[in-house]
Amino acid sequence: MTKEVLKKIFIKRNIDIAIVTIAVLMGAYFEWTIPQIIVFGIFVWIILNPIASRFPAMIALAFLTLTPFFLVFKKKALTEETAIYAYYFLILTVVMAIYEIWKEDKIKPEN
């Protein structure tokens, strides 16, 4: 029985890695920048392997915290990039929160 469980886990992990690899190659095909490809790969990985919504929220808050500092130092391009990444991670936070609520409602028996 343990062998079968390990085999299922191994197959699922390989499928996840293949999907993330396809996502990264897709980013390279569309000539995205390296940070954009990395963020897209992270999004795909997190969607395949859900995590608590507070983790993407912390990353979004970190990017939002950096944004005014880059504005003060007149780094306009970097300011825009960090604001965009903050927005991406806020979207991911909402998606993960919706998933958590859906999962909680699915587990909870109806009375």
Q: What size, in residues, is the chain? A: 111
Domain match, 25 and 59 both: no
Domain match, 85 and 59 both: yes
Domain match, 2 and 17 both: yes
Q: Which residues lie below 8 Å from residue 33, measured CB to CB, with a gap of 6+?
A: none
Average pLDDT score over residue span 92-103: 91
pLDDT at 12: 79
Domain match, 63 and 45 both: no
Q: Using DSSP, state whether 46 is helix, strand or coil.
A: helix
pLDDT band at 110 (very low <50, low <70, confident <90, very high): low
Average pLDDT score over residue span 20-36: 91
Domain match, 62 and 95 both: yes
Q: For the chain, what is the domain count?
A: 2
Q: Would you give the DSSP letter of residue 52?
A: -
pLDDT tens, 29-79? 999 999 889 889 888 988 888 889 899 999 999 999 999 999 999 999 999
pTM: 0.76
> What's the domain range around 78?
51-111
